[in-house]
Structure 1
Amino acid sequence: MELRVIGCHGGETPRHRTCAFVVDDILAIDAGSLTSGLEVKDQARLEACLVSHAHLDHIRDLATIADNRCQLGCPPLVIAGTRETLRTLKKHFFNNVLWPDFAVIPSAGQPTIQYLELKPERPTPVAGRLVRAVHVTHTIDASAFVIEGDGGAIAYSGDTGPTERLWEVLNQQQDLRALLMEVSFPNREQRLATVSGHHTPQTLALELQKFRAPRDLPTMLYHIKPVFQAEVERECAALKGLNLEVLQLMDHFVL
């Protein structure tokens, strides 16, 4: 399984892009920077996009990738998420006010996007992989994903603060190759992290202890706020007994 990092930050500057990852060139995970970070030919290769939740930094480029793919005449892009996340996208995003409804453009019979509901923890085929959505703790309905392919499984936390069910699921998962895990704020901003449903390094360390063997779990960190990047990286580097790596734009992993 190959993983490409298109965007991995909790904010945007000319040197930082919001969250978007691509598995095996065809399955996107979140869409914060799918068009700002991918060439058009790579946008056209995508078959599906998993959406962890409906906050703008995770869905923004669904608008522009739909527009591009419509002009290219691509097959429908499957947008997969929980019922609440899809409901929000339909009502508040692809609603013919904020953005055109590409589920019926160019026609209802040949749409640019198609929605796929992921029922919590039910394995669902998406772009040739099995995907499970697992609810996590955030300020709105949000999910982690466990993605299984021929070479094993990876997990993606989505936006979350301290949570429980995800760790129960991961402790039962066979052949887990890596976890993409959010951490957003430095320890001194714990109050802000708590009210916004995110992690600091100190809560991250406690959270990873819920996994049966935290040192054996390659944990790739993303969603650091650009303003706090250096501070969060220093605090994460000081954590002991964990296997952490801070993701960078355009990282490429074979897992």
Structure 2
Amino acid sequence: MNLPLNTFADVHDATAQARFNMIEQQIRPWNVLDEATLDTLAAVRREEFVPPALQGMAFADVELPLSSPVEQAERLGQVMLAPRVEARLLQDLQIQPTDRVLEIGAGSGYMAALLAHRAEHVVSLEIVPELVEFARENLRSAGVHNADVRQADGALDPINDGPFDVVVLSGSVAEVPHRLLALLREGGRLGAIVGLEPMMRATIVRRTGEGFETDQPWDAIVPRLRNFPEPSLFRF
């Protein structure tokens, strides 16, 4: 049965309102006030990157599982991060139009799309073959042509595309990976959620000459990225 045109208009209006509410009620209150970042969140349609079964939760202030069961998706880090976390990382990394960006953990491709909206080019690595295809198809459907999703383990596999202006980890790690810091060019920034539960901090590292400057401006607890080193729990 074909739906009348006004029904499609109603759906479009409801989706636009839900996106507006996400920005105004979740993201602005989290100190995301940069207008370019907010414009990006309005332009990139989050609902186009959400699994079909979760369309009704596209703008919810929660992590969305990208596989099932939910507990396994969370344990393996196969989730879309909450919109406010992605927005704050995007703002704090100060993406420039000439930036080359590396993302670890493509997931659904949504963060890659946000980054690509601001940057010159994005390389996004994903360890799960099914999510590689899901992210690629989402980016194609959304008309994003300056983001490449590749199947690779960002913790272990060689990364030969550097140097990068920005490295983004779309998940948490116990400590900042030195192998990824080495991929930053002068002035480059790395953004990650770092630490152990119940305390993780957003960590922004900027390369300055031969050294690095680190800022930890906010807290968030998000699922782990796979295969990055964990501290030993053994004690004498």
Structure 1 or 2: larger helix share? 2
TM-score (norm 2): 0.34
